[in-house]
Amino acid sequence: MAENILTVKEAKEPKAIFENPWSVGVQELIDKVQSEAYKATPTGIKQLDKILGGGFVNQQLVGITGRPGAGKTAFCQYLIESMALSRADFSALYLCFEMSKEQLQARSISRLLHSGKHDELTALEVLQGKGKWLDGAKAYEKMYADKVAYMSVGGGLVDNNIDNVVQTIEKALDCKKQEGNPAPYIVIDYLQIVSVAGQGEFEAIGTIMSKLKGLAVKYDTVIIIVIANNRDSNKKGENDMFSGRGSGSIEYGVDALLSLNPPDVDNQGTNKQDNIVTVKVAKGRWIEPGQKAFFNFNAKYMEYEEKPNASTVLSSKEQKIATDLFNMKA
């Protein structure tokens, strides 16, 4: 009798057929290489593409680390919005656990207004409806609204539990898949705020990294993770592969780790180079570690500019489009 019940249950829930792992050969690899599945996707940022070996490659977890105030969120926003202008079929889902969608959009609008030389408004002034904020909002809508989606807890995200986060990501990825478009890039801002029921921070980070890596492979996309530094690293001013809070699973789990280093400080505590942020490859599973790119960071308007020989803003295409939009209105 027990055997009959088991048979019925197995009929309802058929087991997956186990494939001999020694029999699969390399045909899948050949197919993917020939279809350019692992071809680097340029960011549109020359210096960054150079140190990344041409851009980002699908199925990777990319960490962005740096001390508080280094401009990690601003860098990620500028990065994905620059990519949105560089590739027609690009899209991104940005999950933020510190700011709302409106606050993040206001930061981008502040940057657009300043980049397009149309107005000088901080993100807070945009939120307060000052100056030419509406022009900036309309320009942002034309350039990014259908490319970059921001979500926060209470604004699309149920909470910060990893299972709910993964469920939200999968729903968004399936939306693009049904449209016949490539999977969006995913940004998690930031890692240490995501939780796992019944696990402490250190253990949870390992679980979270594993789940996110699985998503990157399953959906053939790139997941960018903003990482908080530990206190010791912030205190010493050091920023390397082991600086992340809960370090261990982080340096082993990411495929590439980019560290944002603030201006150098001399013995008197004075910045040697005002506003210079160095982006360094702290770890590269497929790229050479130690390479650097240099940027000016204007924290007031959340704006990056490539250095040296900075003849253009981080995304010169963005600057031109924004300027043209504002001039057309005038």
Who contacts 192 (Cβ-Cβ below 8 Å, separation ≥6)? Answer: 201, 205, 227, 228, 245, 246
Q: Please say if the pLDDT value at position 306 is more than 80.
A: yes
> Do 47 and 292 form a contact (C-beta atoms < 8 A)?
no
Percent of the chain with pLDDT over 70: 83
Across residues 317-326, what is the average pLDDT? 85
Report pLDDT for 249: 77
Across residues 182-187, what is the average pLDDT? 96
Across residues 65-87, what is the average pLDDT? 93
Give the mean pLDDT of the chain.
Answer: 87
pLDDT tier, 86 (very low <50, low <70, confident <90, very high otherwise): confident
Report pLDDT for 122: 98
pTM over 0.85: yes
Query: What are 57's two structure tokens?
Result: 């490659």
Closest CA to 325 of 117, 166, 177: 117
Q: Please say if the pLDDT value at position 314 is more than 60.
A: no
Report pLDDT for 312: 43
Q: Please say if the pLDDT value at position 10 is more than 80.
A: no
What are the angstrom distances between the C-alpha of 293 and each of 45, 85, 187, 238, 273?
10, 21, 21, 17, 15
pLDDT tier, 327 (very low <50, low <70, confident <90, very high otherwise): confident
Report pLDDT for 67: 87
Across residues 290-301, what is the average pLDDT? 94
pLDDT tier, 179 (very low <50, low <70, confident <90, very high otherwise): very high
Across residues 237-256, what is the average pLDDT? 75
Percent of the chain with pLDDT over 90: 65
Q: Give the CATH class of 39-329.
A: alpha beta
pLDDT tier, 270 (very low <50, low <70, confident <90, very high otherwise): very low
3-state secondary structure of 252: helix
Q: What distance in Å separates the CA atoms of residue 323 and residue 318, rounded to the nearest whole number?
A: 8
Q: Which of 202-216, 286-300, 301-315 has the lowest mean pLDDT?
A: 301-315
Across residues 108-132, what is the average pLDDT? 96
Query: What are 267's two structure tokens?
Result: 């013995």
Across residues 100-127, what is the average pLDDT? 96
pLDDT tier, 242 (very low <50, low <70, confident <90, very high otherwise): low
Query: What are 218's two structure tokens?
Result: 């399953």
pLDDT tier, 123 (very low <50, low <70, confident <90, very high otherwise): very high
Q: What distance in Å separates the CA atoms of residue 121 and residue 110, rounded to the nearest whole number?
A: 6
Across residues 150-159, what is the average pLDDT? 95
Q: What distance in Å separates the CA atoms of residue 75 and residue 232, rounded to the nearest whole number?
A: 23
Across residues 218-237, what is the average pLDDT? 83
Closest CA to 301 of 78, 150, 44, 98: 78
Across residues 52-56, what is the average pLDDT? 96
Q: What distance in Å separates the CA atoms of residue 291 and residue 159, rounded to the nearest whole number?
A: 37
The pLDDT tens digits of the residues spanning 195-222 come to 999 998 889 999 999 999 999 999 999 9
